[in-house]
Structures are given as structure tokens and as C-alpha cells.
Chain A
Amino acid sequence: MGDIWDAFQENDGWGQTWVTIKLSITALGLATLAGLVLGVICAKVGRAAAFLVITVSNLGRTVPTFALIALILALTGLGFWPAALGLFLLGIPPILLNTFTGVKEVDPGAVEASRGMGFTPLQVLGRVELPMAMPLVFAGIRTSSVQIIATAALAGLVGAGGLGVIVSSGLSNNQDDVILAGAIPITILAALSELVFGGAERLATPRGLRISRRPITG
């Protein structure tokens, strides 16, 4: 364990951790914004949009992320922003799909009722549809965050900076300690984001929905 810690410090572990965090947060923030806006638009526009969203997300899943991030970096250059751009694009589908599904699946009765109370379409969206979709939206953000961190590590492998760089240097010099000094923090970051967004998912569930869910979970 001591050797791994030494390797972590010798390879600027804290600096690379910070780069990975900055990269992931930037990409996740932008992906959340884009996913939410596009998801709501698609949910409101109609069937063609639904088909498009599902097809694009499914196709996106069949393209290997590693090859895609390598390709984006090869075409746009090795730097913070090219990597952020790649991670941002890969992070959109889970949030988009979940926002879309969440808004679509809101009980039509609830929407009718709020309309009957005199809500404008914007109020229906902001006060009824989005709050009810929030648990699913956060589930999407959680999936996306874990994916972005995993892909950020791969971007480092390609040469874009971050913890993947440490793994990469360990791999090319055949040093297990160095490999682990990169791999362990990557795993911790992924676990942390899973915990944070899992908690946020629970907090984001409107209180009324939390109660109604209780019987289902047993």
C-alpha cells in the first residue's frame, strides 16, 4: 500500500485527480443542461421525436466509448476542452432519455388537474411535470456521471490528462504500483459520484411520491 501511495504522489496524483474532477464536472454540468432541455423538448414535440431519441440513444450505446473518445481527441486535439467536449457528448443520452421518459410518464390526470387549476403550460411543466420526473432525471444524471468518470479515465489513456495518465505511464513501464495509483482513485471517484447522485435521487423525489412509493418497495 505504501508503494502505491508513493507512486500516487510521485506522479502528481492530487493534481491529476483535480484534473479528472474538473473535466467530469464540466462535462456532467453541460450534459445535464443539454439533456434536460432536449428531453423536455422531445417529450413535448411528439412521436417522431420519441423515435429519434430512442434510436439515437440505442445507436450511441453500440459505438464503443473508448474508440469514440479516442476519435474525438484525434480529430480535435489533446486538451482539456476537446476531452470535455467528448465526455459531454457521451454523457447526454442517459439524461436525455430519462428526462424524456420521466416527463412522458407523468400521470395525465395530474396534468389535467393542474390545467384545471388554471396553470399555464409553463407552470404545468415547472411545478408538476418536472418535479414528478425528477427521480428519473437524477437516475439519468447518476448513470451519466459514472460513465463520464470512466470515460475520463480512458481519455487520460489517450493522452488528455487526468488520472488515466498515471495508469498509462504505469502500463508502459510495467509498474503495478503506478497502475494502481491511478486505478484506485478512479474507482473511488466513481463510487463517490454514485453515492452522491444516489442520495440526490432520493432527495429529489417529491415528498408525495415518496409516500406513494412505500408499498411498492415492500
Chain B
Amino acid sequence: MAELVRWSWVEDNLDDIQEASIEHLQLVGTSLALAIAVSIPTAILVRRRRIPFIAVNTISGALYTIPSLAMFAFLLSFVGIGFEPAVIALAVYCLQLIIRNSVVGLEGVSGPVREAARGMGLTSRQTLTRVELPLALPAIFAGIRLAAVSTVGIATIAVYIGAGGLGVLIVNDGIQRGLFVTPIVVGAVIATVMAIVIDLALVGIERLLTPWQRARAAVG
């Protein structure tokens, strides 16, 4: 078997590798931010309305099953090439995960807790922002983490829609040069490490945002 990584290629292409990684990170970050900005308000709107919830869940679920290559192909044909269509495609895949987890988290807040909030004189908006959303954070973060990890992977296909990223290494330098293995391995390794680091970073952010969970763990 041929050598898995030709190090001379890596040394000669460090700049390209760095550029592809940064592009990839931008793609993932922007898509995730867009998906969160759409999903959490949607979850808040539909959580107690049966029919809208079913509608949102069905639509986001159907979008989720569209194979990634087909999704990029549709956006390429109907929207065009570039960074924005790629971000839309990637954000679409995150909707289902974040919306569903947010609804589960928000509706998982126990009745007595809501009663207590009302008893303290909180309006329903205050109950949402000060009680329900903070208590739903672990579930919401579970959805965001799943979405982030899968987005890092799917974003490798964004190269076909002209959005760059690690797919540049995998496709332009690897597949299209007679399946040259080195850039494919480099792209795969960087994407994997990126997924793990983003996942850990999200765990860290979640811990910062939910200090009471640590306190409880310390007491228990």
C-alpha cells in the first residue's frame, strides 16, 4: 500500500491547508449562528401549539433527510454558487436538531417551577427568559452540539457549490488528481479535529452559562 501521507506535499501546501481550514471554520460558524437564530425563536413560537409544531417538525424532518449532495445540487441550480447558498444548505440541516431539542427542553420545565415563577410575580415573558430558557439550556446545547458536529462533516461538500473549505483539499487536490490520498487524509483529519474541538468548546460554553448545574453537582 502506498504511503498514507506524503509529508512533502503537506509542507509545500501549508498556506492552502490553512486557508481551507479557516474557510471551513467560517462556513460552519456562520451556518450554525444562522440556524440557532432561526431555530430557537421558532421553537419558542410553536412549542405549545400542536399543529404548528407538527408542521415545523415535519418540514424540518423532511429537509433533514435530503441527501447532502442533492441539497447542494438544488441550491446550486436555484440560488447559485458561493458562500451564501452553502450556508443556507448547512443551516437547513441544523434546524430539525435544534428546534426539536429546544422544544423538548422548554416543555420539560416542570409545572411547579413555572408556578413558583408566577408566584414570584414574573410575567410570562420573564418566565421564559429567566426561568424556562436557562433551564432548557442543556437540551438546547445537546441539539447545537449534534448540529455542529454534523455541519463540520457536511461542509466538506460545500466545495462543489464554490464555497471553499476543507473540501478543496479533498476534491480539488485529492479526488480530481487521480485520488491522491494525502490531501484527503489531511482534510479528514483536520475536519475530525475541528469537530471534536468545537464540540468541547460548546461543552465549555454550556458550563459557563449554567453555573447552577456545577453547584448542584458539587453538593450532590
A62/B181 contact (C-beta < 8 A), A67-B156, A67-B187, A150-B69 known: no
The reply on A12 being an interface residue by CB < 8 A is no
**B201 CB to nearest A CB, Å:** 14
A194–B96 CA distance with the chains assembled, in angstroms: 16
Q: By DSSP majority rule, is chain B's interface helix, strand, loop, or mixed?
A: helix
Give B contacts to A, CB under 8 Å: 1, 62, 65-70, 73-74, 76-77, 149-150, 152-154, 156-157, 160, 166-167, 170, 174-175, 179-181, 184-185, 187-188, 191-192, 195-196, 199
A190 proximity list for chain B (CB < 8 A):
65-67, 70
The reply on A33 being an interface residue by CB < 8 A is no
A157 proximity list for chain B (CB < 8 A):
69, 160, 175
The answer to whether B69 and A64 have CB atoms under 8 Å apart is: no
A153/B150 contact (C-beta < 8 A), A67-B188, A70-B184 known: no
The answer to whether B179 and A65 have CB atoms under 8 Å apart is: no
- Identify which of B69, B180, B185 contacts A186 (C-beta below 8 A): B69
The answer to whether B77 and A180 have CB atoms under 8 Å apart is: yes
The reply on A182 being an interface residue by CB < 8 A is yes
- Identify which of A61, A67, A75 contacts B170 (C-beta below 8 A): A67
The size of the chain A interface, using a CB distance under 8 A, is: 37
B68 proximity list for chain A (CB < 8 A):
66, 150, 154
Interface members, chain A 176-192 (any B CB < 8 Å): 176, 179-180, 182-184, 186-187, 190-191
Nearest residue in A to B182 (C-beta to C-beta)?
A74
The reply on A159 being an interface residue by CB < 8 A is yes
A63/B153 contact (C-beta < 8 A), A73-B179, A74-B179, A159-B175 known: yes
The answer to whether A64 and B153 have CB atoms under 8 Å apart is: yes
The answer to whether B188 and A64 have CB atoms under 8 Å apart is: yes
The answer to whether B69 and A158 have CB atoms under 8 Å apart is: no
**A215 CB to nearest B CB, Å:** 16
A191 proximity list for chain B (CB < 8 A):
62, 65
Residue picked from A71, A73, A158, A184, most chain B C-beta under 10 Å: A71
A194–B191 CA distance with the chains assembled, in angstroms: 28
